[in-house]
């Protein structure tokens, strides 16, 4: 019913992913919805088909399982109707680093980083060749703040933000738009999975508000969108401070302050 690009959304059965599905469907985009829970995907798809009339395919996949991830990669490579990838699937772990098991950490890193980069890698060459396309990567403000003591989760989200910025540098000149979205506390099921009662927290954004703000950034073609940040100048100052460091990395000798003992 539409010539608009199809949008593939991971983690689309609930939370942020389900709202992205709703919003893109209401913009007239056909959808490919990816998640582990097929029943929930069917519920989302049935409602949006009825309410919007767009075509919706379902791809059940656990992105920590190699064969499932490969199936999504194949769809991204081969389906030329897909013009936007929303890398939303992600998770967190309860407890602190010393209480989280190595196996659980490995699985979290696979979901939050490996899946993100592999899906982007699957679709980016086709987008670059076409000279158009968009990749939305859902990161987090936690990736900017080790002080939050969410070491592994924060590290994975720092990876997603950096990856998005790097891809923007590489792919932007080829016509491909890449956006990192950095939510703060948002009312999703991730809190329950993390062992936290979200109702005990303050300053929690509703999912619809988060996605609507993120899509304003998408329409403006922002590289990094932080929906809770009231003063864009703070992010610009943060970026300027980072960039100011770069010329000092091109030195053949240690900095003078390291040449003598304290």
Tell me the three state secondary structure of residue 92: coil
Contacts of 28 (CB under 8 A, 6+ apart): 1, 2, 4, 52, 54
Specify whether the CB–CB gap between 142 and 90 falls below 8 A: no
Specify whether the CB–CB gap between 181 and 138 falls below 8 A: yes
Q: Which residues are catalytic?
A: 153
Tell me the three state secondary structure of residue 131: coil
Q: How far apart are CA 182 and CA 154, in angstroms?
A: 11
Specify whether the CB–CB gap between 55 and 79 falls below 8 A: no
Q: Is the dihedral of CA 130, 12, 34, 32 positive or negative?
A: negative
Q: Is the dihedral of CA 120, 121, 125, 128 positive or negative?
A: positive
Specify whether the CB–CB gap between 214 and 181 falls below 8 A: yes
Pairing state of beta strands 56-60 and 82-87?
Answer: unpaired
Query: CA triplet 33, 29, 125: central angle to 5 degrees?
Result: 70
CA distances from 242 to 236, 246, 247 (A): 10, 7, 10
Q: How far apart are CA 256 and CA 16, in angstroms?
A: 49
């Amino acid at each position: 019913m539409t010539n608009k690009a199809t949008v593939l959304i991971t983690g689309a059965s609930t939370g942020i992913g389900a709202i992205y599905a709703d919003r893109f469907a209401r913009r007239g985009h056909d959808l490919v919805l990816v998640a582990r829970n097929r029943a929930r995907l069917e519920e989302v798809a049935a409602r949006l088909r009825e309410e919007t009339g767009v075509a919706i395919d379902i791809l059940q996949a656990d992105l920590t399982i190699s064969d499932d991830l490969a199936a999504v990669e194949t769809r991204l490579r081969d389906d030329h109707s897909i013009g936007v990838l929303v890398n939303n699937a992600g998770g967190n772990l309860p407890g602190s680093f010393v209480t989280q098991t190595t196996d659980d950490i490995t699985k979290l890193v696979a979901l939050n980083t490996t899946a993100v980069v592999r899906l982007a890698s699957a679709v980016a060459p086709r987008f670059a060749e076409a000279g158009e396309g968009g990749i939305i990567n859902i990161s987090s403000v936690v990736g900017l703040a080790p002080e939050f003591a969410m070491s592994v989760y924060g590290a994975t989200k720092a990876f997603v933000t950096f990856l998005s910025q790097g891809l923007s540098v590489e792919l932007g000149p080829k016509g491909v738009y890449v956006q990192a979205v950095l939510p703060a506390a948002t009312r999703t099921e991730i809190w329950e999975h993390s062992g936290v009662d979200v109702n005990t927290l303050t300053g929690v954004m509703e999912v619809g508000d988060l996605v609507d703000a993120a899509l304003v950034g998408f329409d403006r073609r922002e590289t990094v969108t932080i929906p809770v940040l009231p003063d864009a100048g703070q992010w610009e100052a943060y970026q300027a401070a980072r960039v100011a460091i770069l010329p000092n990395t091109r030195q053949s000798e240690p900095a003078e302050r390291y040449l003598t003992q304290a």
